[in-house]
Each structure stands twice: as C-alpha cells, then as structure tokens.
Chains A and B, each alone.
Chain A
C-alpha cells in the first residue's frame, strides 16, 4: 500500500530564509505527487503536482519541488519565506491507475518569524 511521510510536524523559519518541507513516499511504481496548502479553517489549495513529466516542478507563490526517484522524495522548497506562507502543508500521493486515490501525509505546520 502507498504511504507518505512528512518529516517534521512543525517547521519555523525566519522571513526571507529558505523554506524546506520534507516528503518521502512509499510506492512500488512512480506515483503522482502533490503539495497542498491549508490555511486555518479553509480547504486545501494545490501548490504543485508531479505527474511524470519534468522532475523539477514549479508551483504557485514561488514554491517548487523536485521528484527524486532514487530517494523516493518530493521535498517542497521556496527560496525566501514570506509571512503569508505561514500555513499547514500536506504532501499527497496518488496511484497512476484505478481510482487514483489520494493518500495524504500528516502535514507540516510552517511558522514564519519576523
């Protein structure tokens, strides 16, 4: 069965510093991978997705992620954190056939310090 592990339930960075949120997946074949952001009491917004095209994926709000098959990782980065980036971030994996069911990680809460 597929699974997703997000290392670090809470991450704090200073405004202007690099953001790095970690995600590792477990899958027998390369899956589809996603990063979503969730603000308090709101739904999930897609940041970016990997669907077997380019391994470096650029998303909204200056975020990007790199698919590394050898490391089974899909870490999310942003060069310079902004106060508005404070939110909860979820990594998700989907099978590439069948019901395309999403499996979500437990989330990482990002805090941006002034």
Chain B
C-alpha cells in the first residue's frame, strides 16, 4: 500500500540552528500539505501545494519558515533559525486532487511525521 514518507522521524536541535524536513507524497498525488501539531493540540495547516505552486501559506511564519516543492513531487520544509516554540510534530499529507482538472473532494493521507525538539 502506498504511503507518505517523511524524514527524519526525530530531530533534536539547538535554538537558532537551521532544520529541514523532507516529505515524499504518494505517487501521483497533486496536492501536498505541511501541518504543525503542538503537543496536546490538533494539526494546524502551515502550507498547501498544488503541484509546485503554493495555494495556501496563510499560517506559515514566513520570517523563519520556508517550504518548496520544486518539481511538484517531494517537498522540503525549513526552519531558520529554530526557536523553542517550534518544538512540535510536523506532519506531511498528500491528496490526489488537482484544481487544474477541476476535481472535487479527495481525502488527505498522512505520513508518520517528524518530531522536532528545540533545546
């Protein structure tokens, strides 16, 4: 069964360092999502890609966070510099939906996440 892959699974870093997370969506999925899940809370959408384009990054702290999906396949989320408050689980999800083809609803499939601890 196809799955969303994420790496690393765990990352410990010190405050002010740079960190990067990688996500490989299910093959053929046009839409990719990055979520942040703070302990004890539900996931919050950081950025949504449609192929290589960003369609929603309204909750992404752009002063320190960046995300790219250059070829419309895998994606990288970067934090620079990391702060103590960034400690969380970072989840990637994908969906087969394509806006260009005018498709309707498709569910999101989640990866195992990357747990980040900032010391």
Contacts and interface: CB of A to CB of B under 8 A. Distances in A.
Interface of A: 4, 9, 32, 34, 36, 41-46, 49, 51, 90, 92, 94, 96, 99-102, 104-107
Contacts of A104: 42-44
Interface residues of B, number: 25
Contacts of A49: 107
A9 B42 CA distance: 11
Q: Which of A46, A100, A105 has the most CB of B within 10 A?
A: A100
B110 A45 contact: yes
A53 B6 CA distance: 33
A34 B43 CA distance: 13
A8 to B, nearest CB: 14
Interface in B8-63: 9, 40-45, 48, 55-56
Contacts of B40: 9, 106-107
Given A102-B108, A106-B41, 8 more contacts: A43-B6, A43-B91, A46-B107, A99-B48, A101-B45, A101-B48, A105-B42, A106-B42
Contacts of B6: 43
Contacts of A51: 105
B4 interface: yes
B112 interface: yes
A94 B108 CA distance: 11
